[in-house]
Structure 1
Amino acid sequence: MKIKTKKIILHGKTKTEYQTVTLEAPTVEIDQQTQILTAMHSKDSAGNIVSDAKFSDKDQNFTSDTIKFNFKTQKGLTKNTITQTGEMFVHGEVVKKVDSAVTYVKRGYFTTCNLDEPHFGFRANKIKVINDKVAVSGPTHPEFEGVPLPVYIPFGFFPLSNNRHSGLLPPQFATNDQMGLGLEGLGYYHVVNDYWDAKLYGNVYSYGSWSANFNPTYQKRYRYRGSLNFGLQRTKRNFKGDPDYYSNNSYTLTWSHSADARARPGTSFSANVNASSTTYNRNVPNNANLNFQNQLSSSITYSKTWVDKPYNLTVSANHNQNNQTGIVNLSLPDVGFSVSTLYPFQRKEFAGSKRWYEQLGIGYNGTFRNQASFYDTAFTLNRFLDTVQWGAQHNIPITLSLPPIMGGAIILSPSISYSQVWLAQQRTLTWNDTEQKVDTAINKGFYLDHQVSFGVSMNTALFGTFRLKKDKSIRHIIRPTIGFSYAPSLSRKYYDTIRVNAAGDSLTYSKLQGGMYGGYGNITSGSITFGLDNNLEMRYKPKNDSTGEYKKLRLIEGFGFNGSYNLLAKTHKLSNISLYLRNNLFDKINLNATANFSPYKRNRLGGDDTLYAWQGPNKSLGRITAGSISLSTSFQSKPKDPAKDKEKKEEMDKQMNDPIFAADRQRLLDYMRQNPAEFVDFNIPWSFSLSFSFYFTEQAKPDYSGFETITSASTNFNGSFSLTPKWNLSANGYYDFRTKKLQTFTMSISREMHCWQLAINVTPVGLFRFFNFTISPKSGLLQDLKINRTRSFYTPY
């Protein structure tokens, strides 16, 4: 303390607090007469700064060489200062704080780079900063690595608000060989109120193509959240008179809505609509995944569960379409009503154990549907109304849970079920002798079909152990099920036999087939159902494990078969056998395989003959009529920073499972697939995933002249590899073995540049082949400050 000058000097790790102000510095001088506090940094013997002076006042933070602050006037002056507001860092040679919200900067530097010597920024001699609102500067020019660029703007306007605000959406320049030069993403964003906002944006090309999208979003915390997008697209390629001239108008409509379950307990409403013209997806440039998306579906659902009552109601509207065939199916409405299982003989007050008859339960579930179908390119109201059909189905199951027998080893479950369907049409087939083909007629009316069935089932589990060594054994678990069911035929009036080809072959068919609900069988069934499920696991003690505990290894997770034998049928008593296998090899390869095994010989149409495969000439055990195999695997290296990787996964799982994010989830996934280079995780040096699927089935030819085998095989692959700690190469694609073509392939190169990112996307295969080159800051505040180059090439097959 200096008594004469009334000054106090502090040395070391000092900390001064006054109201909302906190100051930390290695050296602090306090003048009691002027109420001015001066803080200074410290240097080592080589002249390097060891510790800075740090000043904070509410949301403002300064790191400086020297700080002077007047406690009385709340004004301050700093030198060589760095302050942060939101994502923006402001460097200033001299910074003057005039009040708690306003700061002036002399010879300042704007940047989103968090280094003391930033990679890039905007240099201006005079800057005014208003906390969480805006920063305004005089003439400004950019600098990269300390090198100024000869590009000046008369003033700078930098919004610092963390809240939403309306404004223009800047476009990016693109070149398309078929559409010409274009501006993509040009539009306007408008904040309506605290719950609503909207974007209106689009693309325009020099050859006449354009698209426009209207995208409002809404959210009310603890109530609901959703978004809607309606788009119009006008596609023109080349010019009139050109043999490759193409012109098309199309639209798209998507709507996603999710409600918080806490808003109205027992009642929910959700929507996931994805509808468009069948030509819309194939005409979207620079999106290979969307170009090959031929299946679209929508669902709008309202459901209600009555409190303290066993009733459940679901009302929905559904839509699906195939862009390849142009068929659109609408179901409006679909109504489902169910009554949970009731136990009419159960006592209201229990005393002791339950009696067997108290386990008798009865329930109900019913559905009502309306459906219409039409071709997108040939829609008329009359054609639409002509395809309208309706139907209903009712099921009344009666179950009884008997006490386990043989000490709980065997469980018996008897059941009775009554089902009924209502249909508005039936299909009649007749042989046209003149044209030598089968004609189809649709008869409108009211048709009722029903079925009653009785059954009892039994299941148990058997265990067997085979000891390999003293500390290693294999355990085999067998779960057999067997049951008996009886269902009298009540549907014979809906079956007929007709001639189907010139050779005189006949076919028995159901008149209700192809309706809203299929009819029931025409054969009285007294069937024995059987099934066998197995799994194998190894129990062993690791050699290097000092705990002495045994571990389990699943060798085969499950394999088995299911089938039935109809004691009352005249022919085809034994049903086809369903075979299956599922496994996870080495905890890395997921394997699923299924097959349909027919024990009968094949007839001329590819169906089952009346003779078993082991009867007559050419004896065999049977034949495989359909099957599928799917394999998938993924590998990745260990993360460089495990803590960072764990934090990222927890945050992603939270967002993916949170219903509040449901509305934006699909749009984010689509954007990530379209721009993979912008979402590279440099914390994972390499990753690879591969999936393969194969399917085949035998079916009769459309003209009933024989049968054919339909096969499908494809593989999807996705990989990412860091060539260096800062360069990453990734690729993904889809290969169709049937066409022997690589249907889609996208390759991406990314460069980590600390506060910037470089991304190159190339798609050399597909309907739209394109490449995209982008350099942009990582900060969302400067997301529109980017260099972008896009070129597209339309290559129809």
Structure 2
Amino acid sequence: MRRISFTVLLLCAFFFMLANADYQSRKRHKRVSSDSVAVDKAMKRDSLGREIIDTTTMDSLQLAIYRHNKTIDDSIHLDSLNRQKKNGIDAPVNFSANDSMVYDARNKTAFLYGSSNVKYENMDLKSERIHLNMDSSLVHATGVSDTASKGLKGTPVFSMGSDNYESDTMSFNFKTKKGLIQNVATQQEEGFLQSKLSKRNDKGEIFLQHGRYTTCDEPHPDFYIALSRAKVRPGKDVVFGPAYLVVADVPLPLAIPYGFFPFTKSYSSGFIMPTYGDESTRGFYLRDGGYYFAMSDKWDLKLLGEIYTRGSWGLSAATNYHKRYRYSGTFYAAYQDTKTGDKGLPDFTRQQSFKIQWSHRQDQKANPFSSLAASVNFASSSYERNNMGSLYNPQTLTQSTHTSSVSWSTNFSSIGLSLSSTANLNQNMRDSSIALTLPDLNINISRFYPFKRAHAAGTERWYEKISVSYTGQISNSINTKEDRLFRSNLIKDWRNGMQHRIPVSGSFTLFNYINVTPSFNFTDRMYTNKVTRSWDKVAKKEVADTTYGFHNIYNWDFSLGASTKLYGMFIPNRKLFGDKIQAIRHVITPSVSFSYAPDFGTSRYGYYATYQRTNTDGTVDLVEYSPYANSLYGVPGRGKMGSFNFSFDNNIEMKIKSDKDTTGIRKISIIDNLGFNMSYNMAAKEKPWSDLSMNLRLKWWKNYTFNMNAVFASYAYELDANGKPYVGNHTYWGMGKWGRFQGMSQNVSFTLTPEKLKKIFGGSSDEDEPKGKRNDPEAEGVDTNVESNVDDDMIEGQRSVRKKKATGKAETDDDGYMMFSMPWSLTVGYGITMRENTDVRKFNYRTMRYPYMFTQTLNFSGNLRISDGWNISFSSGYDFENHAISMTTASLQRDLHCFNMSCQVVLAPYTSYNFSFRCNASTLTDALKYDKRSGYSNAVQWY
């Protein structure tokens, strides 16, 4: 009973509590509802239509409920925003691993092992181990220990867009794009950046601590610039604080407080640092310094200056312009004010000089019917002597002439008409004389057949093979000194005129074997003045009178030629010569031509005139001259011409069986050409026969052709009344002799290399290998743009040396010894000219001949690569007339991987030396360099 009563009592208490709770809930809900109504009644709108709460109409409980509900709503909204921000990854994250991957779903963390890779948008991370947290978007990458190399392998490689970074350990946030990197290495154009600790911000900028900058691509650089602090803007620049230079791990006392390196692939303006030095006659100098203006991607401007402590100075301006598919070119102008000696003393001199260079080329796509080209190189005679850049270049000093030209052309293809105009300038630097032609207009009408039928039917008529063309030329030129050019008179000092040429020709076949080619040429000249000469009896001298007007002179000639080919085949006796020689072929090409022209020196043409000259002894001479002798296109020659020209060419070849191919036939040239040429002028009253010319050409050696030219005189020497020899009218063959040998000329050059020596003594060389199996020098990265005295064999030797360096092991022979390799080349050129020494004192009256004299030239050049990186080249010659060595140059180059050292010595007559040591990279070529030069005026005297 007690137990039941206690249970009933407990249930009654429980129901009572539930009833009370329901009552309180209804009461509270009713209160809250009434309070909510009160809050809604207290809500008003301001003048801008915004909802506001008037708290003055609510009691304390209503105000507390309102504030509590507002706090809950704001918390829910803020939590929603935080949740969106926390999970705000804009793209999927892709990750993979070759070994294994562990994913912690609760902590949303992935552990990647073995050649792992994580990609997100344009970011890519590769490493041996990667720890990725998806909630914080944080990735941590590192390598693993390598017992073989005692280092790390599989170190992180991070790329984002065009930026690449290599490091030992890396932490990066994909969301903020910030990172912390240890032992980072990255490349910026030609430079390499390394640092122990680096920080990357969201803009891609890197802040380095204890970094180094170098252009050496080796893992352990030969040199670097140690940076205490640095800021890197990829693709733009590097700004650093205190820095010093380290070479071969040795810190040098070369430090700077701050600096920067620009990294930009686009054109940008900036200062150009000058070079400094000392010149004996002008003092200390700063030269080649100025400013570079990057106007646009179509043209730029570079302004440079130079100044010397003794008063000399100079300015120069250079520009490059280019318009795609239209034209491109360069323009350079320089001015120098050179002062030598001390002002006020007799040795003081001042020279003002200038130079203009212009190169212009028009793209063929711009206009296929019209073109404009220019190549201008004009300088005052004193410019090259005073320009320091020329003092170190022997080729510039020895160059005696400058040529310039500007040409324009257009054509009308429909009518076969073309127009071209040029302006030419030839400048002699030795005597400051110039020859200027401005302008030179040419008009050409291409060959056409006036008698050819428009609609041909049947065989071609003989007259349809007659062709006509036209060439017209208008010129205006002057020969003067450079200081008189701008003071010349266009009418009196310049020569001008017009010339027309009309050739008419044809080609016919006679008897199916003989080619006949007749031709007729008409030339007309038009001048604006002529010079009449006479003898002044009072002054006893010749006087000239120039009259201006229109003067026309012409001439014409006719020629007829015939030629054919004769073939002869000789098959040797098999019993005597075997079957190796298949046949010997002899080709004879005889030709004969006849040329005729009347005598335009007769009085009826008026091209020549005469006047009487009174000599000092009272005798009178008749002087002949031409009023048009100094005209632009000259005057027709005097004398009637009716000459026959004979030529006889021979070619002998032999066909033999090939040694390598039993079924193949190989052709060998025995005599490539043996030709004779001679003419006979039947209109000449004296010595109608010309000299006999002979030409011999042989091709017995690979890549070499032997040429020899010889001349045989037709007429023998005779003695005049005073006993002096002269060429008479009696031919040698009329006396039963062969023509007099007047001389010959021959040039021989040969290049000797180890490969050719090996081949000469029976060894094998690369030349025996098929071309398809040979290594390509350009594919191996060998610079084939080397000196002219280095041939392809030299380049092959350099290629083999670099190939050894790339493998890291030296090549060995069959016995295991290291192979010796020292590529070299030696080029020897020899020229000899044999001719008669026409000194009367050396004439041999017994043989009636002059002795022979020889003119010889010997030039040699070579190149020797003593080891990998060391290269020696030289060039010289021997002057046989002066019995002395000609100008000799020798140079030594040392490739220090990222640095280059060169030394050049030039011997007499322009003795000088040049030593240069500079960084190879263009980024530091002007910053890290040392140059020591001398001109011929202050060079070391060699004894």
Match of 1:400 in 2: 506
Q: Secondary structure at the match of 1:290?
A: helix
* Pairwise CA distance, 1:604: 9.5
Is the counterpart of residue 471 in structure 1 residue 609 in structure 2? Answer: no
> Which amino acid in 1 is paired with 2:559?
G
Compare CA radii of gyration and give the structure with the larger one.
Answer: 2
Match of 1:31 in 2: 133
2:401 to 295, 300, 309: 295
> In the aligned structure 1, how far is the partner of 2:490 from the partner of 2:165?
69
Match of 1:490 in 2: 600
In structure 2, relative to structure 1, the CA distance for the partners of 1:220 and 1:431 (3 Å cut) is: same
Match of 1:137 in 2: 240
Q: Secondary structure at the match of 1:728?
A: strand
Residues 355-379 of structure 1: CA distance to partner in whole angstroms, max 9, x if unpaired?
4332221110111111111123555
> In the aligned structure 2, how far is the partner of 1:584 from the partner of 1:435?
66
Match of 2:649 in 1: 533
Any unmatched runs of 5+ in structure 2? 1-101, 756-764, 767-772, 790-794, 801-822, 840-849
Match of 1:663 in 2: none
* Pairwise CA distance, 1:581: 4.3
Match of 1:169 in 2: 272
> In the aligned structure 1, how far is the partner of 2:892 from the partner of 2:681?
62
1:611 to 705, 711, 729: 729
Is the counterpart of residue 646 in structure 1 residue 775 in structure 2? Answer: no
2:525 to 421, 445, 448: 421
> Which amino acid in 1 is paired with 2:590?
P
Is the counterpart of residue 773 in structure 1 residue 773 in structure 2? Answer: no
- Kindly indicate whether the alpha-carbon contact (under 8 Å) linking 1:745 and 1:766 is maintained by their aligned counterparts in 2: no
1:2 to 103, 108, 125: 103
1:159 to 259, 262, 267: 262
* Higher mean C-alpha deviation, range 113-122 or range 243-252: 243-252
In structure 2, relative to structure 1, the CA distance for the partners of 1:483 and 1:86 (3 Å cut) is: same
In structure 2, relative to structure 1, the CA distance for the partners of 1:507 and 1:592 (3 Å cut) is: farther
Match of 2:676 in 1: 561
> Which amino acid in 1 is paired with 2:223?
F
1:364 to 470, 475, 482: 470
Is the counterpart of residue 265 in structure 1 residue 368 in structure 2? Answer: yes
* Pairwise CA distance, 1:790: 1.7
In structure 2, relative to structure 1, the CA distance for the partners of 1:630 and 1:101 (3 Å cut) is: farther
Give the total of aligned pairs.
Answer: 765
- Kindly indicate whether the alpha-carbon contact (under 8 Å) linking 2:692 and 2:712 is maintained by their aligned counterparts in 1: yes
The equivalences for 1:355-754 within 5 A come to 355-377=461-483, 381-382=487-488, 386-403=492-509, 405-406=511-512, 409-424=513-528, 441=544, 443-445=546-548, 446-464=550-568, 470-472=579-581, 475-493=585-603, 494-495=607-608, 512-543=628-659, 545-546=660-661, 548-554=663-669, 556-582=671-697, 586-589=701-704, 591-595=706-710, 597-601=712-716, 609=727, 611-614=729-732, 621-622=739-740, 624=742, 628-634=745-751, 643=775, 645-647=777-779, 683=799, 685-692=823-830, 714-733=857-876, 736-740=879-883, 742=885, 744-754=887-897
Is the counterpart of residue 759 in structure 1 residue 875 in structure 2? Answer: no
> In the aligned structure 2, how far is the partner of 1:697 from the partner of 1:43?
83
Residues 628-662 of structure 1: CA distance to partner in whole angstroms, max 9, x if unpaired?
54444445667999656235999989xxxxxxxxx
How does the TM-score come out when normalised to structure 1?
0.84
> Which amino acid in 2 is paired with 1:766?
P
- Kindly indicate whether the alpha-carbon contact (under 8 Å) linking 1:495 and 1:511 is maintained by their aligned counterparts in 2: yes
In structure 2, relative to structure 1, the CA distance for the partners of 1:464 and 1:615 (3 Å cut) is: closer
* Pairwise CA distance, 1:278: 2.3
* Higher mean C-alpha deviation, range 784-793 or range 177-186: 177-186
* Pairwise CA distance, 1:692: 4.8
In structure 2, relative to structure 1, the CA distance for the partners of 1:327 and 1:32 (3 Å cut) is: same
Higher RCO by CA contacts (8 Å cutoff, separation 6 or greater): 1
In structure 2, relative to structure 1, the CA distance for the partners of 1:630 and 1:402 (3 Å cut) is: same
- Kindly indicate whether the alpha-carbon contact (under 8 Å) linking 2:270 and 2:293 is maintained by their aligned counterparts in 1: yes
> In the aligned structure 2, how far is the partner of 1:428 from the partner of 1:593?
47
* Pairwise CA distance, 1:207: 3.4
> Which amino acid in 2 is paired with 1:358?
E
- Kindly indicate whether the alpha-carbon contact (under 8 Å) linking 1:749 and 1:760 is maintained by their aligned counterparts in 2: yes
Any unmatched runs of 5+ in structure 1? 654-667, 674-678, 702-706
> In the aligned structure 2, how far is the partner of 1:426 from the partner of 1:405?
51
> Which amino acid in 1 is paired with 2:256?
I
> In the aligned structure 1, how far is the partner of 2:337 from the partner of 2:855?
35
* Pairwise CA distance, 1:11: 3.6
More helix by share: 2
* Pairwise CA distance, 1:338: 0.6
* Higher mean C-alpha deviation, range 503-512 or range 412-421: 503-512
In structure 2, relative to structure 1, the CA distance for the partners of 1:75 and 1:282 (3 Å cut) is: same
Is the counterpart of residue 19 in structure 1 residue 137 in structure 2? Answer: no
- Kindly indicate whether the alpha-carbon contact (under 8 Å) linking 1:268 and 1:304 is maintained by their aligned counterparts in 2: yes
> In the aligned structure 2, how far is the partner of 1:612 from the partner of 1:77?
104
> In the aligned structure 2, how far is the partner of 1:589 from the partner of 1:607?
42
- Kindly indicate whether the alpha-carbon contact (under 8 Å) linking 1:62 and 1:82 is maintained by their aligned counterparts in 2: yes
Q: Secondary structure at the match of 1:387?
A: coil
How does the TM-score come out when normalised to structure 2?
0.72
Residues 544-595 of structure 1: CA distance to partner in whole angstroms, max 9, x if unpaired?
x146433344455444233322233323322344444455663344555445
- Kindly indicate whether the alpha-carbon contact (under 8 Å) linking 1:334 and 1:368 is maintained by their aligned counterparts in 2: yes
In structure 2, relative to structure 1, the CA distance for the partners of 1:193 and 1:645 (3 Å cut) is: same
In structure 2, relative to structure 1, the CA distance for the partners of 1:65 and 1:459 (3 Å cut) is: farther
> Which amino acid in 2 is paired with 1:339?
I
> In the aligned structure 1, how far is the partner of 2:635 from the partner of 2:438?
22
> In the aligned structure 2, how far is the partner of 1:634 from the partner of 1:440?
60
> In the aligned structure 1, how far is the partner of 2:718 from the partner of 2:536?
23
Is the counterpart of residue 342 in structure 1 residue 458 in structure 2? Answer: no
> Which amino acid in 2 is paired with 1:233?
Q
> In the aligned structure 1, how far is the partner of 2:923 from the partner of 2:739?
70
Q: Secondary structure at the match of 2:330?
A: strand
> In the aligned structure 1, how far is the partner of 2:744 from the partner of 2:533?
30
> In the aligned structure 1, how far is the partner of 2:744 from the partner of 2:798?
41
In structure 2, relative to structure 1, the CA distance for the partners of 1:484 and 1:373 (3 Å cut) is: same
> In the aligned structure 1, how far is the partner of 2:464 from the partner of 2:210?
87
Residues 134-155 of structure 1: CA distance to partner in whole angstroms, max 9, x if unpaired?
1111211111122222332121
> Which amino acid in 2 is paired with 1:69?
F
Q: Secondary structure at the match of 1:203?
A: strand
> Which amino acid in 2 is paired with 1:479?
T
In structure 2, relative to structure 1, the CA distance for the partners of 1:762 and 1:500 (3 Å cut) is: farther
> In the aligned structure 1, how far is the partner of 2:182 from the partner of 2:718?
94
Q: Secondary structure at the match of 2:239?
A: strand
* Pairwise CA distance, 1:89: 0.8
Is the counterpart of residue 122 in structure 1 residue 122 in structure 2? Answer: no
In structure 2, relative to structure 1, the CA distance for the partners of 1:385 and 1:427 (3 Å cut) is: closer
In structure 2, relative to structure 1, the CA distance for the partners of 1:471 and 1:522 (3 Å cut) is: same
> In the aligned structure 1, how far is the partner of 2:217 from the partner of 2:615?
79
* Higher mean C-alpha deviation, range 717-726 or range 442-451: 442-451
1:71 to 174, 179, 186: 174
Match of 1:178 in 2: 281
* Higher mean C-alpha deviation, range 584-593 or range 559-568: 584-593
- Kindly indicate whether the alpha-carbon contact (under 8 Å) linking 1:256 and 1:272 is maintained by their aligned counterparts in 2: yes
Residues 471-492 of structure 1: CA distance to partner in whole angstroms, max 9, x if unpaired?
3465444333222232223343
* Pairwise CA distance, 1:114: 0.8
More strand by share: 1
Aligned residues: CA RMSD: 4.3
> In the aligned structure 2, how far is the partner of 1:650 from the partner of 1:265?
38
Match of 2:187 in 1: 84
> Which amino acid in 2 is paired with 1:770?
S
* Pairwise CA distance, 1:747: 1.5
- Kindly indicate whether the alpha-carbon contact (under 8 Å) linking 1:229 and 1:254 is maintained by their aligned counterparts in 2: yes
Is the counterpart of residue 112 in structure 1 residue 215 in structure 2? Answer: yes
- Kindly indicate whether the alpha-carbon contact (under 8 Å) linking 1:590 and 1:633 is maintained by their aligned counterparts in 2: no
> In the aligned structure 1, how far is the partner of 2:558 from the partner of 2:203?
82
